[in-house]
A and B are shown apart, each in its own frame.
Chain A
Amino acid sequence: MSTCRNYSHAPVEIRWHSSIAKGAQRSTVNCNFSHQFRNLFRFREYLRVPVNTQAPGKNFADTISLIPHRSGSHRSFMPLIIMAQISSGDIHLPFDVIPLIISELGSDEDMASLRACSLTCKAILPLARKHIFAKVEIDNTKEPEDCEKPLANRFTWLLESDPSIADYVRSFKYIEVFDHDHLRWPVLRNATSLEFGFGSYYGPGLHKQPWRDIAESLRASFCNFVSSNSFKELSLSNMSFPVSLFHEMPHLASLEFSNLTFVDVADRGRLPKAKLTRLLFICKTQSQVRDLRTLLRGTFDLSQLQELSMELDYDPSYEFEDVVEGFISASDQLRTLSFEGES
């Protein structure tokens, strides 16, 4: 093991296992380096890692484990330094290690580092974008009321300028202001998680956006959006929503909703039913509870339900126990049950 202490910042530790270097039990190199850019090129002086050594028949990425320390501002620069060294040709780090580094940053949602990595070379750009654009959240209730360029429009323009970005989006959240329709729904193809709802700048209250009051063009583009993707997770809030659209999501496994009314509840006969494993909902009015029974009967297959969370307000017009019984008897796979309500 060798440790370099010329630079007084927190260390980055690179470990690799004995299978890489013949005869060595385990080699560890600790490199302390400054986060300042001027030290970038000194880094290679202290990196005593035979990075092009590879165990016979083994992928380098399988044997190396890169363990950056969790504290200190150096962390954001660590991949950048390695990337820069690679792109300058100074270090011949096998390319299959790079996705591991990027993936580590992605799992930490370290956007600053991911953006920095995306600027190092064209080969790394898609790896970084996969994480940068994995989750897109647009909440217009948090934008200034008089915003000239709403976030939704900027995102649409971004996709128009580079349509390949759409392929990276896995999770899309869109919260619109009541009675507004800023968004032209983006053309996404690989999204598996959708959160859609309405709110106001001052909190949603109990107001709901009626489906019929949403502009026809927006409704049509939303329907197209739903059928173009294979959603597994769906969250809806503060609106009325046509039940027929659930049949466009046969792979749906997780459904969350609050302050929702279901419309267009006509019996769809033998249309495919999504097998839910997770159902979480908040119902504040009696009419919504009635809708739940409709849902139970015709829209979903609840026999695989594993997690159920329900929040119901007290209402003398229905028996809370009946609602609970209706749900817990639907599945024998339930593992987690949560009830919230007034006594």
Chain B
Amino acid sequence: LAPQFEQFSGKNVLESLKFLIWLEFLNPCDTDPAKWENLDNILSKSDGFPFLRRVEIVVNLRDDPVQRELEKDLLDIGKNHFPSLRARDGLTFLFEVRDHSFGS
């Protein structure tokens, strides 16, 4: 969605943005850090989204061994690849990976 938000940049009053992502069965999630960092760059520009106060990204893992293997990569993305959003004053950034596998 980065290109869509780039178009949206500078002409909005967006205050809160939330992504709730469910990984599809047997479909590998794109864990390319560059793509996530691109979203970080676009959203963190203060003149692009001057009113933004909260960004929340939740990735839900299903009961799928392939997806569970991604958990570490996703946590790393949340921790290390949104430096600008994390550093922006007055903005709350949350990145969460939820494991929905049975017994978790």
Hey, which bits of chain A sit against chain B, CB under 8 A? 311, 314, 321, 324-325, 328-329, 332-343
Within the complex, what minimum Cβ distance (angstroms) separates A324 from chain B? 6
A329 touches B20 (CB 8 A): no
Complex: how many Å from CA A343 to CA B19?
11
Q: Taking the complex as formed, is B13 at the interface, i.e. its CB lies under 8 A from any CB of chain A?
A: yes
Contact B4 A328 (CB under 8 A): yes
In the complex formed, the residue of A with least CB distance to B62 is A342
Docked-complex contact A334 and B14, CB < 8 angstroms: yes
Question: Would A338 and B7 be within 8 Å (CB), given that A314-B24, A324-B1, A343-B27 are in contact?
Answer: no
- Across the interface, do A337 and B7 meet the contact criterion of CB distance under 8 Å? no
Contact A338 B18 (CB under 8 A): yes
Q: Mark B50-71, 1 if CB is under 8 A from A, else 0.
A: 0100000000000000000000
Interface size for B (C-beta < 8 A) is: 23
Chain B residues 7 to 42 lying within 8 A of chain A, measured CB to CB, are: 7-8, 11-24, 27, 29-30
Residues of chain A lying within 8 A (CB to CB) of residue B16: 335-338
Do residues A321 and B4 form an inter-chain contact, with CB atoms below 8 A? yes
Cross-chain contact A343 with B20 (CB below 8 angstroms): no
In the complex, residue of chain A having the shortest beta-carbon distance to the beta carbon of B19? A339
Q: Taking the complex as formed, is B103 at the interface, i.e. its CB lies under 8 A from any CB of chain A?
A: no
B90 on the A face (CB < 8 A): no
**CB <8 Å contact, B22 and A343:** yes
User: In the complex, are the beta carbons of B21 and A328 less than 8 A apart?
Assistant: no
**What's the Cα separation between A311 and B22 when bound, in Å?**
11
Return A139 CB to nearest CB of chain B, in Å.
26
